[in-house]
Chains A and B, each alone.
Chain A
Amino acid sequence: MKQILLLEDLPEIRAWLKALALQVFPDAQISEASRIHDALELVNAVRFDVAMLDLGLPDGSGVEVVQALREKQPEAQSVVVTIHEDDDHLFPALQAGAFGYLLKEQTREQLSEQLQRISQGEPPLSPSIARRVIQYFTTQARQQHMREPDNVTPHVQLTDRENEVLLRVAKGFTLPEIGVQLNLSRHTIADYVKQIYRKLNVSSRAEAALEAQRLGLFRR
């Protein structure tokens, strides 16, 4: 039995999403929340397998819940369900540890298929998100280079294959196309994408920790 967290402020949409979730995971136990505050309390109380989180909420951004889950329940899969399609909204959520995103206005069929795929470990990746990821890691590498070489912070790097996948996505190829081009199975490609998301999150957290250290938040 799956434990699912559903964070959505609009009651109709919440009901509709609940129905969707029950369609994909028929035996799921669904905890509903309409505000960040409630969601965070639930995170402290219940172990979740999947979390469907809206971003724009009356008392803040769903990214906070993504972060809380990442810290307290690393095995939980956070999926951002949003009306925002632009990477300015999505990228921070992915950095915080979200594993995928769903766009709300899609048809029930499309959504259920995507949710299924995400829960099976096939996160989506759009060209603009791929570009942001490439840009992020390039900047990281440059900054790392500029800092003192004996820096102890772990330097997260993408492998050549991961970079290859990212570049192709950025050029507008779909994931199945890339699988054909690189002669890789759909499953392997999905693994690369998962790995990219994971590294993005790890690197972001390392960066945040480093930033905090630099600001003197951690005193030893």
Chain B
Amino acid sequence: MSYRGWQSWARRFRQEWSTAEEGGSDAAPDRTGGVSRRLFWMALFMGLLLAGSVGWGLLLLNREAVRLSHPATGNLVGEGVQTFRHAWVVLSDAERFPDGATGRMVALPDEWAINHPRHAGGIWYRFQLDGVAARDAAGESLRAIYIERACSNVEVHLNGQVLYRGGRMTDPYARHCYRSHVVALPSGLLKARGNVLDLKVVGYPLEQVAARQRAGGLASVRIGALSDIRDLSDEQEFWTSTLAGVLGGILAVMGLFALGLAWIRRLDYLMYFGLLTTGWSLATARFWLTELPAPNATVEVMIAMMFAPLVGCAVQFILCYAGARAQPMISAVWMWRVRAWLWAQCALLPLTLLWLGFDRIFAGVSLWYPIFAVEICAGIGYFLWAAGKRRRPEFWLMSVIMGVVVAVLGIELSYQAGWIKLWGVHVTHFVMPVLYAAVAIRLMQVYAKALQAAQGAKAKLEQRVKEVTAEMERNFNQIAELRAEQVAEKERKRIASDLHDDLGAKLLTIVHTSNNDRISTLAREALEEMRLSVRGLTGRPMVLSDALADWRAEVVSRLRQAGIECEWRNPNDIIEEPLSSRTYVQTTRILREAVSNVIKHSGASHVIVSAEVHLDLHDFVLVIQDNGKGIELALDDRTDRGHGMTSMKHRAKQLSGQCLVESGPGFGTVIRLTLPLEVATMQHPGPTLARMVDHVRSQ
């Protein structure tokens, strides 16, 4: 539909609009307000102009349609179709044409409200078929007459014989105001000349009906070949009846759908729209409900009554759709008053009609319809104002629709007031449904968009929930790991504490109370071993530089205390490589053993310790070199006389490293310790107490 075009245009315009505002916003706020307000008024003016031009175009179109279908000159419409322009009229309710009664010539179409004011009942129209009939008699094709509109009902007589009756001819008459009649003329009844066609039309005066369309009258009567007449009739039937019927059906379905949607989603404006369209489609039933058992006045009042709730729904729909409920630009009290008035109308309208009496139904309705029109126009104005102010994308589409509504209202009111003439095709009957359809499509689009957005949001939300859940799981796992780690840490600390307090204290007592030097030395060493083990148990990984510093401090101070000069060669850089506490502890033990050996056995006066770190080979090397007397290298471990070489090698092996000892009598000793730099991930429990005690015993 064209609204897509409108929308893209509107979007473009809106962009310009917003850029205009953005451009102005950082420059000067006052001017921005001015610019946007000017833009707003311009847009409103253009919207109204657009609506007006569309309405005017519609009016012109309608007039053109009227002109085409009702040639004032009475030219032949089809091949051989002739229009009767005059008829002899007798006001009578007689069953047959009252031959003797007075009558007069009247031009067709004959509107009773003008030509026969306040006449209720029947009027006879007489046509002479002379010229036509003469040709007909010879012609092969069947002849027929076409009565475009005879309100309320018509009876056709040819040469005194009844040919056709639309329905009940007594009050309440059958209601055929919106229909045309086709009556075939039997050839047998046609005489060579002097054929007389009589039409008895029964109807109600304008005063007793609620709309001018249902006031008594006879439009043009045509005669011609049956096929031509049938075409004419079909065309008329399509525009007035079929189209209205189809559209009414569509509207009913649409309205019910909207109502269902409104009920599920609790959308006010959709509910009012559904009520409006459903109500409208119900109101179209008046076009083809011909034989009603109720008196005419009742039916007319009922029809008039239907418009009050329709108008109420229409206005409320417009207000709700404009967003009056969500963000009221008029106060809630006023909203409430408007609603109350709209519903009060539904009761006030029939009361007014009853009070005025059945003879003044049209007068009462003429009072109410302008009020309705004003209400709808006010609603439209409010909507355009609100939509323009909020720069809603459907502003242009809606202003066109609203303009058309205003135009249609204008046409309808003018017609009812008798200012313009409309015959046959009635613009309201098919323009309004089209408008409803346009609005409905727009609403569906809005709804679909909202649904799409909601679904997108939902998908996004689901995605987010998934992410958050995953993150929570991850966090939970981390916390669980941390908790496990903490528990393990706590347990290790407890064990360490127990070891210190229990084993440590006992060893200490041995150290300080034993009279045997060897035993107290052994106990001291055992205590140191225990401490290192505990450190391996509880210690955190440390940086290689720090470990080197600790080793240096210990080695240097121990050698110094023993009176041995020590030279420590360290890499200058700070090495941030991590060292597991296990490696630290084992290396400390190896170093301690080596230093003890130097002090106890070597008799050296000078020791050089050099540390090298090979990051590329991923290892570090400690070389302890003394200038002592050297040791006799044992060929097998059993001859290792308490020098601890075996345990040093064993420890180095445990760390996947190696400990090489080069020595000979008189050459001093070189201990080369190569250990891998491991990535400190998990804390190893370190040597067990049992193994430690074993080691203490082995010494």
Q: Which B residues lie within 8 Å of A105 (CB)?
A: 507-508, 511, 524, 527-528
State whether the Cβ of B553 lies closer than 8 Å to any Cβ in chain A. yes
The distance in angstroms between the C-alpha atoms of A37 and B430, with both chains bound, is 105
Task: Knowing A10-B509, A13-B509, A83-B508 are in contact, say whether A172-B549 is a contact too (CB < 8 A).
Answer: yes
State whether the Cβ of A56 lies closer than 8 Å to any Cβ in chain B. yes
State whether the Cβ of A187 lies closer than 8 Å to any Cβ in chain B. no
In the complex, which residues 10-50 of chain A have their Cβ closer than 8 Å to any Cβ of chain B? 10, 12-13, 16
The distance in angstroms between the C-alpha atoms of A128 and B509, with both chains bound, is 27
Q: Which A residues lie within 8 Å of B524 (CB)?
A: 105, 107
Contacting pair B535 A173 (CB below 8 A): no
The distance in angstroms between the C-alpha atoms of A170 and B561, with both chains bound, is 20
Contacting pair B501 A56 (CB below 8 A): yes
Contact partner of B505 (CB less than 8 A), chosen from A83, A131, A170, is A83
State whether the Cβ of A104 lies closer than 8 Å to any Cβ in chain B. yes
State whether the Cβ of B557 lies closer than 8 Å to any Cβ in chain A. yes
State whether the Cβ of B239 lies closer than 8 Å to any Cβ in chain A. no
Q: In the complex, which residue of chain B has the Cβ closest to the Cβ of A110? A: B561
Contact with A along B484-521 (1 / 0, CB 8 A): 00000000000001001100110111011100000000
Contacting pair B500 A86 (CB below 8 A): no
Contact partner of B552 (CB less than 8 A), chosen from A83, A104, A173, is A173
Task: Knowing A105-B524, A170-B549, A172-B550 are in contact, say whether A85-B557 is a contact too (CB < 8 A).
Answer: no
Q: Which A residues lie within 8 Å of B508 (CB)?
A: 10, 13, 83, 104-105
Contact partner of B557 (CB less than 8 A), chosen from A16, A107, A170, A174, is A174
The distance in angstroms between the C-alpha atoms of A175 and B630, with both chains bound, is 31
State whether the Cβ of A179 lies closer than 8 Å to any Cβ in chain B. no
The distance in angstroms between the C-alpha atoms of A127 and B543, with both chains bound, is 13
Contact with A along B686-699 (1 / 0, CB 8 A): 00000000000000
Q: In the complex, which residue of chain A has the Cβ closest to the Cβ of B517? A: A107
Q: Which B residues lie within 8 Å of A104 (CB)?
A: 508, 512
Contacting pair B500 A56 (CB below 8 A): yes
Q: In the complex, which residue of chain A has the Cβ closest to the Cβ of B540? A: A88
Q: Which B residues lie within 8 Å of A131 (CB)?
A: 546
State whether the Cβ of B618 lies closer than 8 Å to any Cβ in chain A. no
Report the minimum CB–CB distance from B64 to chain A (whole Å). Answer: 85
The distance in angstroms between the C-alpha atoms of A108 and B512, with both chains bound, is 8
The distance in angstroms between the C-alpha atoms of A108 and B552, with both chains bound, is 24
The distance in angstroms between the C-alpha atoms of A166 and B570, with both chains bound, is 18
Contact with B along A175-217 (1 / 0, CB 8 A): 0110000000000000000000000000000000000000000
The distance in angstroms between the C-alpha atoms of A126 and B528, with both chains bound, is 17
State whether the Cβ of B651 lies closer than 8 Å to any Cβ in chain A. no
Contact with A along B520-540 (1 / 0, CB 8 A): 000010011001000100110
State whether the Cβ of A70 lies closer than 8 Å to any Cβ in chain B. no
Q: In the complex, which residue of chain A has the Cβ closest to the Cβ of B550? A: A127
State whether the Cβ of B385 lies closer than 8 Å to any Cβ in chain A. no
Contacting pair A128 B546 (CB below 8 A): yes
Q: Which B residues lie within 8 Å of A170 (CB)?
A: 546, 549
Contacting pair B512 A12 (CB below 8 A): yes
Contact partner of B513 (CB less than 8 A), chosen from A12, A173, A174, A176, is A12
The distance in angstroms between the C-alpha atoms of A176 and B557, with both chains bound, is 10
Contacting pair B556 A177 (CB below 8 A): yes
Q: In the complex, which residue of chain B has the Cβ closest to the Cβ of A86? A: B535
Task: Knowing A56-B497, A83-B504 are in contact, say whether A13-B549 is a contact too (CB < 8 A).
Answer: no
State whether the Cβ of B551 lies closer than 8 Å to any Cβ in chain A. yes
Contacting pair A171 B549 (CB below 8 A): yes
Q: In the complex, which residue of chain B has the Cβ closest to the Cβ of A131? A: B546
Contact with A along B544-578 (1 / 0, CB 8 A): 01101111110011001100000010100000000
Contacting pair A172 B513 (CB below 8 A): no
Report the minimum CB–CB distance from B548 to chain A (whole Å). Answer: 7
Q: In the complex, which residue of chain A has the Cβ closest to the Cβ of B551? A: A172
Q: In the complex, which residue of chain A has the Cβ closest to the Cβ of B499? A: A83
Contact partner of A127 (CB less than 8 A), chosen from B527, B539, B546, B560, is B546
Q: In the complex, which residue of chain B has the Cβ closest to the Cβ of A113? A: B561
Task: Knowing A13-B512, A131-B546 are in contact, say whether A172-B501 is a contact too (CB < 8 A).
Answer: no
Report the minimum CB–CB distance from A61 to chain B (whole Å). Answer: 11
Q: Which A residues lie within 8 Å of B512 (CB)?
A: 12-13, 16, 104, 108
Contact with B along A95-119 (1 / 0, CB 8 A): 0000000001101101000000000
The distance in angstroms between the C-alpha atoms of A16 and B510, with both chains bound, is 11
10 A-B pairs with least C-beta separation: A172-B552, A172-B549, A16-B512, A127-B549, A105-B527, A172-B553, A83-B504, A12-B509, A127-B553, A174-B557
Could you list 19 A-B pairs, sorted by A, with CB under 8 Å? A12-B509, A13-B505, A16-B513, A56-B501, A83-B505, A83-B508, A83-B527, A105-B507, A105-B527, A126-B553, A127-B552, A127-B553, A171-B545, A172-B550, A172-B556, A172-B568, A173-B556, A174-B556, A177-B556
Binding site for A on B (CB under 8 A): 497, 500-501, 504-505, 507-509, 511-513, 524, 527-528, 531, 535, 538-539, 545-546, 548-553, 556-557, 560-561, 568, 570
Given contacts A10-B509, A107-B524, A172-B551, 12 further A-B contacts (CB under 8 A): A10-B508, A83-B527, A126-B550, A128-B546, A170-B549, A171-B545, A171-B552, A172-B549, A173-B556, A174-B553, A174-B556, A174-B557
